[in-house]
Structure 1
Amino acid sequence: MDIALIGGHGKVALLAAPLLVEAGHTVHAVIRNPDHAAEVEATGAQAVLSDIETLDAGGWDELLRGKDAVVWAAGAGGGNPARTVAVDQDAAIASMDAAQRVGAMRYVMVSYFGASLDHGIPDSEPFHAYAESKAQADAHLQRTELSWTILGPSGLTLEEPTGRIDLDAAESGTVSRGNVARTIVAALGHPGTAGKFLQYNDGEQEIGAAFGAVS
């Protein structure tokens, strides 16, 4: 597949890109800082310069035209509620709408464990903007005609990836970013994950087998 990897210089994206290339995909990693291009291209991906906060509908169409799939791994990083809404909600939704318009019908969203419109985070809490933005984006994605998968990893760590998760986890724990990268590849490789919100911690289930059993 020809994949648009949004947020191409993020920690998860940098781990996912070489795995996607190794799996035979063409990866266009979208970044806004040209200083990051060399690091991104060292993964085997092609760096694409674009500021997703400022793209209009035509810009999004141009960015995604000709792609088979979109992987959303971007995030504002917290700290600025307005920018969080602009990136994690508005830009994400704009990418979904463009993906439908141009026919990039496979869409993998990296969300988080417990993301929901019923998140219950009060407005006064710093996490509210992120929780609300991700929930709105996830809800919009589920209303589209895209072949979507939402990934809900728990608390992210820098531990070495094990290639194993707990897809049956009832409560949030932790998961390595390397394992999240592997779940992106697995989601794209297993059509049965389409239309699913998959939440997970690190665990004992081999990722490919766990995702292959989803139906």
Structure 2
Amino acid sequence: MVGDMTDSKKVLYIGGHGKIGLLTTPKLIEKGHEVHSLVRNPDYKPELEKLGATPVIADITEQSPEDWAKLVDGSDVVVWGAGNGGRGGADLTFAVDRDGAVALVDGMESLGDRAPRLVMISYMGATENEVEDDGGSWYSYVESKKQADNHINASKLSSVILGPGVLTDDSATGITVSDPGSTRDSDVETPRDLVADVIAEIVNEDKVPPHAPLEFYTGDKPVSSIWES
């Protein structure tokens, strides 16, 4: 059943052909939201359209802050689900996960009061993780996410950074939200389906959770528990 259209939000999902994006889009469509899915490869258009999304073709590495401002203007929520994740080498990872995200934040800030809310998919402990600089893919990913997340935190945007644990393809059964300042367990798992549920909950409720960042993993509480202090 389609949700109340009076509460419909226009959502720009960056990296919409990723696993989480493909799970999130139908959850948003079902609730009556309008999803625009940004991807680089036009071959993904039929699949995205079948889900109910409007494809937006753009290369993250080529967008200036001004370009991003034009792309996001008019949206209510922007979800960053893109990531090179070390594929294609360190330079490409920095270009996508750091430079692309930073340019997006700068472009959104330039809109002032018209800036949409930003939901950034990151990972648990991203702003504090330290690894040896070996010039490799993992180092470039860790540094890129750290710098991007800290850039968001230093901005004036209405935003929430999502910090899931180790991602799995399991079905979502419930959630556990980490207490701020608690000791992290690097082995906890978070279904991608649960990340999609959390994104949908944030869009539906039109606000941001009290936790910053919102770190979570599989558990037995309802997703609505993310609003508990």
Shorter-chain TM-score bucket reads over 0.9
DSSP 3-state at the match of 2:110: helix
Tell me which residue corresponds to 1:84: 93
Contact 1:84 1:129 in 2 (8 A): yes
Instruction: Tell me how large the CA RMSD over aligned residues is.
Output: 1.6
Post-superposition offset of 1:106 = 0.6
1:200: Cα distance to partner?
1.1
Identity, % of aligned pairs?
A: 37
Residues 123-132 or 91-100, more deviating: 123-132
Aligned residue-pair number: 211
Counterpart residue number, 1:94: 103
**Structure 2 unaligned spans of 5+:** 1-8
1:115-155 superposed Cα distances (whole Å, 9 cap, x missing partner): 11x31211126411111100100000011111100000011
Give the distance between the partners of 1:41 and 1:195, measured in 2 at CA. 34
Determine helix, strand or coil for the equivalent of 2:216. strand
Q: Which amino acid aligns with 1:198?
A: L
Is 1:114 aligned with 2:118?
no
Mapped to 2, the partners of 1:185 and 1:92 lie a distance apart of 21
**8 Å contact kept, 2:169–2:191:** yes
**Structure 1 position 166 matched with structure 2 position 176:** yes
Residues of 2 paired with 1:95 and 1:192: CA distance? Answer: 19
* Matches for 1:15-164 after TM superposition, within 5 Å: 15-79=23-87, 80-102=89-111, 103-116=114-127, 118-124=128-134, 126-162=137-173, 164=174
Question: Which residue identity is paired with 2:185?
Answer: E
Does the CA contact (< 8 Å) of 1:75 and 1:87 recur in 2? yes
Q: 1:44 Cα deviation (Å)?
A: 1.2
Which residue identity lines up with residue 105 of structure 1 in the other structure?
P
Deviation >6 Å, runs of 4+: none
Show the counterpart of 2:10: 2
How far apart are 1:202 and its partner, in Å?
A: 0.7
Letter aligned with residue 157 of structure 1: T
Counterpart of 1:189 (choices 204, 213, 217) is 204
TM-score computed with the length of structure 1 as normaliser: 0.92
**8 Å Cα contact 2:67/2:107 also seen in 1:** no
